[in-house]
């Protein structure tokens, strides 16, 4: 692999400080929220916070290693990366263990690994390379079909776990990247039309429990102590926070344990209750800052491969943010999608930091460097 000397000022000066600062601020914000959600001040376990700190340190090392490698090297090895993606997803089906009905984790002794999180980055790197070769030549369905197959194998393996939420992340990423690569509007419109027409058939094919989830999403009061419990308690917590919140570590819904999965999927509920509208807006401003800087890097990247990598990462962050916050306020169905940099999870934090490292990598090399 091509390794460059980071001491060279021509590379260092191109590091996007806005991305670095916004990422670090989001991680600190997340650790504070996790501390409150796990009730550290009142004697709660520090296990989750320690894991997050270790993941942050490992993530920083990972970012530095990524910056040492020219991002184009990943494209040169895209076949190997894709094979590794498939291997990891098959491996978790064979030796993984189940959590809440999803066989998506591998026991590594002191820690657990979620391969689908790592594969997100691998997918973006390989899909970007494929689309780079096909850019502005995606006007017919036959041109898009190989891309669908590229995506379909990974999504199929993820659905076998089953993990519908993560599968949707991959689909969302691919749509953004296909659009950026110049896919014809006719194909997009046609696919959307087919989706709408097929909705009645899809509804009939759904299992009873899947239909219940959709109906409860539309009206949580249909099952207030079952499927609708998460959303009802989340909305109650966020609403009670009002403008300024009840204060850090002072949330009643949080401290009394009414908010489910409060340090992972529903951590935004804790933020809304304890820090109020102001705290939520500050968090959204940090996310907006990060996304805008990523968009800037995508626009100034020196080649299509770098641009497509950035677009894929932007799509990944955007889907996670919209879905996670949306489900806590009842606008999106409940899934196991974490809030980037905020929710507890070592695999998730490492993946997000690797994604940031790739965007910084593209930004550093946006100009041809002459030594």
Chain mean position to CA 120: 8
| Whether the predicted pLDDT of 216 surpasses 50 | yes
Q: Are 37 and 261 in contact (CB under 8 A)?
A: no
Encoded tokens for 199: 């909705």
How would residue 8 be classed by pLDDT, with cut points 50, 70 and 90?
Answer: low
Best CA proximity match to 51, nearest among 105, 112, 92, 96: 112
pLDDT at residue 267, rounded to an integer: 93
First to last CA, the chain: 18
Q: How high is the pLDDT of residue 42?
A: 62
Enumerate long-range contacts of 149-156, CB under 8 Å, 24 or more apart: 150/82, 150/126, 151/123, 151/127, 153/86, 154/85, 154/86, 154/89, 154/119, 154/123
Residue 43: band (very low, low, confident or very high) from pLDDT cuts 50, 70, 90:
low
> In terms of pLDDT, which residue wins out, 63 or 217?
63
pLDDT on residue 333 = 85
Instruction: Using pLDDT thresholds of 50, 70 and 90, give the confidence band for residue 124.
Output: very high
The DSSP letter of residue 199 is: H
What gap in Å lies between CA 307 and CA 136, rounded to an integer?
14
pLDDT at 214 over 50: yes
Give me the chain's average pLDDT, please: 88
Token code pair at residue 327? 């489900």
Per-residue pLDDT tens digits for 134-180: 887 887 778 888 888 999 999 999 999 988 889 999 999 999 999 99
DSSP string, 213-242: HHHHHH-GGGSTTTTTHHHHHHHHHHHHHT
Residue 294 near residue 313, CB atoms below 8 Å: yes
CB 323 within 8 A of CB 332: yes
pLDDT at position 255, please? 84
Is it the case that residue 253 has pLDDT exceeding 70?
yes
Count of beta carbons in the 10 Å neighbourhood of residue 34: 25
Q: Tokens at residue 294, please?
A: 């990523």
Give 89 or 102, the one with higher predicted confidence. Answer: 89
Confidence at 41, pLDDT banded by 50, 70, 90: low
pLDDT at 1: 47
- 370 band by pLDDT with thresholds 50, 70 and 90: very low
Residue 102 DSSP symbol = E
Cα 135 to Cα 320: distance, rounded to the nearest angstrom: 26
**Which is higher by pLDDT, 88 or 230?**
88
Pairing of strands 102-107, 97-99: antiparallel
Which helix (H) or strand (E) covers residue 74, if one does? Answer: helix 71-76
Each residue of 263-308: pLDDT tens digit? 888 999 999 999 999 999 999 999 999 999 999 999 999 999 999 9
For 65, other C-beta atoms within 10 Å of its C-beta total 12
Lookup: tokens for 188: 């997009």
Provide the pLDDT for residue 223: 79
Relative orientation angle of helices 141-159 and 164-180, to the nearest 10 degrees: 160
What is the CA angle 300-150-290, rounded to 5?
A: 30
Q: What angle do CA 350, 355, 357 make, to 5 degrees?
A: 95
Whether 164 and 335 have beta carbons less than 8 Å apart is answered as yes
User: What is the reported pLDDT for 297?
Assistant: 96
Which pLDDT score, from 0 to 100, does residue 188 have?
78
DSSP 246: S
pLDDT at position 155 is: 94
Diameter of the chain measured on Cα atoms:
67
Mean pLDDT, rounded, for 40-44: 64
Query: Would you state the pLDDT for residue 314?
Result: 98
Please state at what angle helix 185-205 crosses helix 141-159, rounded to 10 degrees: 40
The pLDDT-based confidence of 202 (bands split at 50, 70, 90) is confident
Residues 6+ apart with CB under 8 A from 215: 222
C-alpha distances in angstroms, 212 versus 203, 232, 371? 11, 16, 62
Cα angle value 283/299/131 (rounded, 5°): 105
Once rounded to an integer, what is the mean pLDDT over residues 92-97? 92
């Amino acid at each position: 692999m091509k390794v460059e000397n980071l001491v060279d000022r021509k590379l260092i000066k191109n590091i996007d400080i806005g991305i670095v600062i916004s990422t670090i601020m989001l991680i600190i914000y997340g650790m504070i929220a996790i501390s409150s959600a796990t009730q550290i001040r009142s004697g709660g376990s520090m296990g989750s916070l320690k894991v997050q700190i270790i993941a942050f340190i490992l993530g920083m090392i990972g970012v530095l290693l990524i910056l040492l490698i020219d991002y184009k090297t990943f494209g040169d090895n895209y076949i190997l990366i894709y094979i590794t993606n498939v291997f990891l997803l098959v491996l978790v089906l064979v030796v993984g263990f189940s959590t809440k009905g999803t066989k998506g984790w591998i026991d590594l002794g002191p820690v657990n690994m979620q391969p689908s999180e790592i594969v997100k980055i691998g997918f973006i790197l390989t899909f970007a390379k494929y689309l780079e070769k096909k850019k502005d030549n995606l006007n017919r369905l036959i041109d898009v079909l190989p891309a669908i197959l590229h995506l379909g194998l990974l999504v199929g393996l993820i659905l076998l776990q089953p993990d519908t939420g993560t599968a949707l992340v991959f689909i969302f990423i691919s749509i953004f990247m296909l659009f950026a690569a110049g896919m014809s509007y006719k194909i997009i419109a046609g696919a959307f039309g087919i989706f709408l027409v097929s909705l009645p058939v899809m509804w009939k094919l759904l299992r009873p429990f899947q239909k219940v989830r959709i109906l409860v999403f539309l009206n949580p009061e249909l099952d207030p102590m079952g499927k609708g419990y998460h959303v009802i308690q989340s909305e109650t917590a966020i609403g009670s926070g009002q403008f300024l919140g009840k204060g850090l570590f002072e949330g009643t819904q949080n401290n009394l344990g009414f908010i489910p999965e409060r340090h992972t999927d529903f951590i935004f509920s804790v933020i809304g209750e304890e820090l109020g509208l102001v705290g939520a807006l500050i968090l959204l401003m940090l996310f907006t800052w990060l996304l805008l800087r990523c968009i800037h890097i995508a626009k100034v990247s020196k080649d299509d491969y770098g641009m497509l990598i950035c677009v894929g990462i932007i799509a990944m962050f955007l889907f996670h943010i919209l879905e996670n916050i949306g489900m806590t306020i009842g606008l999106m169905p409940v899934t196991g999608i974490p809030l980037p940099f905020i929710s507890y999870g070592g695999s998730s934090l490492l993946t997000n930091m690797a994604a940031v490292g790739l965007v910084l990598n593209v930004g550093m090399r946006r100009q041809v460097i002459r030594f």
